[in-house]
Amino acid sequence: MNLDHLQLQQLWWIILSLVGALFLFMTFVQGGQTLLFTTARSAPERTLMVNALGRKWELTFTLLVLFGGAFFAAFPRFYAVSFSGAYWVWMLILITFVLQAVSFEFRSKAGNLFGARVYEGFLFINGSLGILALGAAIGTLFTGGNFLIDEFNLIRWGNPWHGLEALLVPFNVALGLVAVFLARVLGALYLVNSLRAEELTARLRRAAWKNLLPLVILIPFLLISWQTMTGYGYGESGEILAAAGKHWDNLFNLGLFGIGFFLIGAALTAGGAGLARFTASTKGIWLSGAGAILIGLALFLILGLEQTAFYPSLLDPASSLTIRNASSSRYTLAAMTWVALAVPVILGYVAYVWRLMNATPLSADDMDKDRHHSY
């Protein structure tokens, strides 16, 4: 591996950005879960939706674990700071994902203690509160965390909330809401593509379009915030430097990979919802899905590239984390890069399995035929 340490750090930030963007696309599972009570009109319709989403929920969870594991291996200092300092917000997120796993496992089991409606409520919590909190936690990478790293390299958190304060910062909440409504758009479009139920899919088509509208307000708010908020960069010697509008500048400095991906992604997301609302096509998920991936890539790339501190410290700017001071050694990153060469094979297998599982849209008749293997 002939890449130097900085090149490997940049490469691994790009790889993590791609995994994070793919996870953003896969949150259609969580988005679909939040539609159970607003789109379905009966228990059989909710069962149909849950089973369509149940085909993919493990892929979403796997991508989240992959993202966390890869972040730990490539940038362990961030893992140490965030998970040992902001642990309450991460515990909240983890609990909602545990509720999701339990709900898919036990919702349709005979004699379960709570009944299907309770588990459907847990799925709603995972899709709403879980994604909101996860989006807010990602928001702290822009707005900063209340940590400092002392002279003994020990991490200290500046308040007893340990990350929950992220839910009180307007930018973080806005980013969390963007994640929630984008997931709802994707969830509706995925279900349109996966179900054979005319009345239900008609309502899902309308839901995809309606949930696009809040994004028209939230995304400009994010752009204005990037223009006005203070970001942090670093110099050649690694010193942390305050820079007004740092993320806004990054958006344009990265060109196609910044503002290009962001605008194209927004257009594709809207196009997919419009395709479902105003035509009979079931392919809107692929347009909006590609849009979500591009938006996710733009978000993560402007966070870590262009000599940017991707996790600013609100207590001590010098403690802020960058890809240079938070990464593993060159040897570790080089070894990981060889392993990463297998990723295209894994993605190809996932695509193949996806195609097999979605070859035939689900219908109510399928639920009657296979009651023992339904969610």
DSSP secondary structure, 303-327, as one string? HHTTTB-SB-BSS-GGG-B-TTTSS
pLDDT at 153: 80
Mean pLDDT of 167-172: 95
Mean pLDDT of 175-197: 95
Closest CA to 100 of 181, 33, 147: 33
- What is the spatial distance between Cα 120 and Cα 44, in angstroms, rounded to a whole number? 13
Is 373's pLDDT higher than 60? no
Residue pLDDT, tens place only, 81-131: 988 888 899 999 999 999 999 998 888 887 777 888 899 999 999 999 999
Buried b (16+ CB within 10 A) or exposed e, 2-15: eeeeeebbbbbbeb
Cβ-in-10-Å burial (0-12, 13-18, 19+) of 210 comes to middle
Average pLDDT score, the chain: 90
- What is the spatial distance between Cα 277 and Cα 47, in angstroms, rounded to a whole number? 24
pLDDT at 338: 85
For residue 147, give the 3-state DSSP assignment: strand
Mean pLDDT of 266-278: 96
Query: Are 90 and 83 within 8 A, CB to CB?
Result: yes
Lowest mean pLDDT among 58-67, 230-239, 286-295, 358-367: 358-367
Closest CA to 60 of 131, 138, 166, 164: 131
Q: How confident is the model at residue 206 (pLDDT cuts 50, 70, 90)?
A: very high
Entry field: residues in the chain: 375
Q: How confident is the model at residue 77 (pLDDT cuts 50, 70, 90)?
A: very high
Q: Which residue has the higher pLDDT, 356 or 24?
A: 24
Mean pLDDT of 246-274: 95
